[in-house]
Structure 1
Amino acid sequence: MVSSSHEAMHRIFQEDPGIFTRTFERLGIPFPDAVAVSFPPTDLTEIKPLERRLDTLLQFDTADGRSYLLAVEAQGKKDTEKHSSWAYYMSYLYAKYRMPPLLLVVCQDEATSQWADRPFHIGIAGWQTLTVRPLVLGPGKVPVITDPAAAAEDIPLAAFAAITHSKNRQADIILKALSHALRTTDAETADLFKELTELGLGTTPAAQIWRDLMAIPTHFFRSETAEKVRDEGRVEGRVEGRVKDIVMLLGLRGVEVTDTVRERVAEASDEATLDLWFRRALTVDRAEDIFADPAD
């Protein structure tokens, strides 16, 4: 039976696919940023009555016109049968979609992580016909996030880190940082990652710590005082994110962004203005044209 912890470990990638590239960039293994992400079917069953199903399957389309598949598997313990399953998944995905498949295995304990983080060879001594080399995220690779401000900057990663480090001796500090971060975001996002974190912690002692932290009345998240405190950080974060989006979008479209344009966008603080510039960045041929007077 699939556990709630297993479910949460890969569902976070469904909620925020970008967590994949952000995390591996920190580890010094850069992958191209995606301009689009889609969700192909996870059912890899053939005509024969043998069911094979991935946890999560994502398709990343990059700015240079290339695409690749990311199969995410949550692994709770060592299981030698998984090697043949993973080999099947990768071969099947390549044969069906004709694009490079990557296998990402996420683990909550270091022993399983180290077991999975080894290439698996199919063949005979001296001649390997097929090698499966997973990307692995476990406690040794996922950052420990204990600073509430850092957690608020990337809540999906903070939630994933909290789940991954559920057995860490600093679990209470990690979870407190995440709980504070959730108070800086909107109620819908807070509820989603509150639930995913609880599912991911499963039956570990950290689960009780999380339940105690979440025992704070939920009206706090919606009270007038909390809303004012939250809005200050939330607006600042949205503005900063919109500035980055405008510059990135222009660059992805091949529009040259001068230092003057970059500085003017960075100095803006009005959300409505930045939203207008973002919409214009979708179509302009010159970066300067995003600042055009509406009367013109």
Structure 2
Amino acid sequence: MDTTQSGLSRAWLADATGRVELTSGDAPTLRIPVQAAPKLAADMSGSAKKLKKGSDTTMLSLKGKDITAGQGATEVTSLLGAFELGASSERGDASLDSIPAARSMDLQYVGASSTAPRTGMADGQLNIGISTWDNWAHLAGGTELDVEIDTNGDGEADFVTFTAAMDEVDLDLAATFDLATGEQVDLRPVNGVLGDVDTNTFDTNTAILPVSLSALGLSEDAAQISYRVLGYTWYNTDEAGSMVPVDQTGWIDFNAATPQVDFGAEGSLFTDLKGNKIPVTVADSTKASKALLLHLHNASGDRAQVLDIVSGKTGKPKGN
């Protein structure tokens, strides 16, 4: 199988196939085909030191069992997304369990980060990190995450970034459209990298949707936005048959030029390796501030973690 399609590295999934043979002295031999999709699982977490009086910088320290395995096209390294926490959402009621894929679009945490403090606004990227209460099989398989973005402060969405796919390549994508013109203004891979970097996009409950700041018309003088996140499944519809959100957040304020919680990112991801330390800067050390960490390669139930940055209190990764 080719590792690229249309010149782009495709996402991949390990698999193993074989047969189980069952024999008996008084019955015919039975051969059963089996197939599995095994993957490595990390067990990582982070902790933040308490801010010292008068300081605006602390340190995020990573610990646990990480992953560094394979080589070339099959190399796997545990990865991390780090964000200013925007919203938390309680697990939806039991009625969601009767709707196919609804629980996987039941939002848990959302957050945002920006590369602008390092790259500048013109070359900057907005990253929206999302976790849900259950795993989806594949984001393009009947489920969709949307991020609506208000860039002028009128309480109405000006842009929408949503998960999508193209027939030409096996890759989850984040497509951004200008809602005033209907034009597509940006297209980037989910989690910010192509398929030659494993980000555990299958059978997971975490995703990062990136979008260019310049595509949103943002600048140093116009960096304040509001965003909200919505989760959809094809099977959650109204009486007219139109999809309606399984869950959605309210509007969340975020400054793309000067985030309240900044990890110094230059892209979407950090390596989630034992002993790594990431400096964390807060814009206002008197303001309550929380961080959202998405440990992309942790096992189900342990991927999303919230830290209280100002007080230094640590939360364990959150279960699905």
| TM tier, smaller | under 0.3
Task: Tell me which of the two structures has the higher relative contact order, counting C-alpha pairs closer than 8 angstroms and 6 or more residues apart.
Answer: 2
Larger Cα Rg: Structure 1 or Structure 2?
Answer: 1
Question: Would you tell me which structure has more strand in proportion to its own residues?
Answer: 2
Question: Would you tell me which structure has more helix in proportion to its own residues?
Answer: 1
